[in-house]
Amino acid sequence: MKVVFLDRDGVINIYPGEGRYVNKWGEFSFIPGSIEGIRKLNEKGFKVFVVSNQAGVAKGLYTFKDLLYINKKMTGVLKKQGAFLEGIHYCIHQEGQECSCRKPKTGLLQRALKESKTNPRISFLVGDSLKDIKTAVNFGAKSILVLSGKEKIANRNKWDVEPDYIFDNLLVAAYYICSHYG
């Protein structure tokens, strides 16, 4: 089985900015090509999961119900366009709260595999932050940084971890994954 874990903000939808959150569906905008990227991965037999830190819930910026509604709307749009997620897993804790799920810890990825009874022979984590890359390293997945969100290539000399691959966005990453591992 082949698995791709995706961060949400900055990978699937437009990154809202440092310290900001997508609080409601009206603030959610798909990054051009992200739906097609997920569909391509599906077509090549990859199980696709979303793994996302969503501390805005713990900070009281939006409710758990709001998060579930955003997820429902997102998966509905994906489904209408032939793209599917195996599952969505999120950490609602703030940094500093003790939990096993907040990236760069690997609890979200482990939960995703356990709940879907999946044992991947190869896995990727596609993210827009160094936390995502560290999560991939900690889990033993291939790490892909996309430049459609938080991190910028101009800051590369300040990075404390190096991704396996760097691409402009999820669509380009998906084409690479599918052509080399699909």
Q: What is the pLDDT of residues 142-156, one digit of tens each?
A: 999 999 999 999 999
Q: At what angle do helices 107-116 and 130-139 cross, to 10 degrees?
A: 60
DSSP assignments along 43-108, one per residue: HTTEEEEEEEE-TTTTTTSS-HHHHHHHHHHHHHHHHHTT---SEEEEE-PPTTS--S-STTSSHH
Distance CA 122, CA 45 (A): 12
Section 56-68 average pLDDT: 94
Section 155-180 average pLDDT: 98
3-state SS assignment for residue 169: coil
Question: Which of residues 142 and 117 earns the better pLDDT score?
Answer: 142
Q: What is the pLDDT of residues 12-45, one digit of tens each?
A: 999 998 889 999 999 999 999 999 999 999 999 9
Domain boundaries, the chain: 2-181
Among 7, 66, 128, 132, which one carries the catalytic annotation? Answer: 7
Among 9, 66, 128, 132, which one carries the catalytic annotation? Answer: 9
168 is catalytic: no
Q: What is the pLDDT of residues 81-113, one digit of tens each?
A: 999 999 999 999 988 888 999 999 999 999 999
164 is catalytic: no
- CATH homologous superfamily of 2-181: HAD superfamily/HAD-like (3.40.50.1000)
Distance CA 133, CA 166 (A): 11
Tokens of 131: 């936390």
Is pLDDT of 115 > 90? Answer: no
